[in-house]
Chains A and B, each alone.
Chain A
């Protein structure tokens, strides 16, 4: 399925947000590695998916009406057995129904637990004067508290991608501070360029967030993603 089909099918259903599964399909289409992800509509499907991937896995609520999944108890991490997956499935559905009784629920997504890496984020928003703008930063507390992020206007050239990564104050963390695994900067540069190229050619994308991305010495993996369409 081409990226345009993913966007089109969401639009047909009158949705302005892609589900996490759709968002990751879209990222894969544009050449960005993501964690594998499958939709499970029943508890049995969830357990079968988990066995297929191998443990540990992550379960998340899939609903077009729920954007902030953790807020409704819709995320369970590090599930190590079929029993844990089954229990998590029930808990997620119950909690989501309790918090958002009117939400349409498609099921849960099952994905393998990604190997931890240095967390980075890439975001795209549309500036009132300059239209699509990319943001890059370290994930977690650094971006939230210190606002240690850099911006560039789309389209980026290679130098822009390199400079916006080097520009953040937390850059030494990416180089592998105190024995931590360093991030592969070239992979992150290419990631920025892929996102830039895609949003430049697709004005129908209003916002795009890949948060977090786990950066490794030999690659990078998009662990969660959010895509909002223009109405």
Chain B
């Protein structure tokens, strides 16, 4: 096999890790609260800017900046729920989607106001690993490892703790859960916080690889909704697999054609699959 193609495939797998992490967070919110946060990728952008600001301008150590960012984005997740989603929880689902669409405009313009449209990075460049002719960025390798670890931690949290069980139960039947003595509002807050924290974690991993700018959310935002839906609602493992399928389409498509065309393939693939398997690819 062509060594460059192999490199492309490996890079695709590594990209898939971060996408999977984002899709997991979105899937959790989608599955539990039944809301699509159109602005999810822009919340990630907020986390990236905070890390940039703390690390590059205030010279905080990177790890400290990342921890603060995760906590801050988790808090942002709770704020989004309390201020935007909760007041209209009873209205048509599409209104909730549109309200977070307003948030998308707000976050992108507010970031422009604060930081301008320049591309910014924290100036940390992790070494490139060379492995028998293949070059692998260690930032991506690290991102992949952390994303997988985060996904596994989330899996055990949902399976082994009481609150995790309640979250899974609410995704299955939100009316019955109330009868079992679970406070829905409390669960929604916890879910939003976890969704936010996952976005914060993704921000830490992305800032190591990409420059941050106000519209970075537009580049991968639509993609993670597609992954989330492809994997099937509330299906964590399905979402995980879908992330790797999409990242391979994008990597290999980008290798043979161009980046834009590879996204065209990915979105077309999504539309076609929605018609073939409307309830998610891995649904039974």
Same complex? no
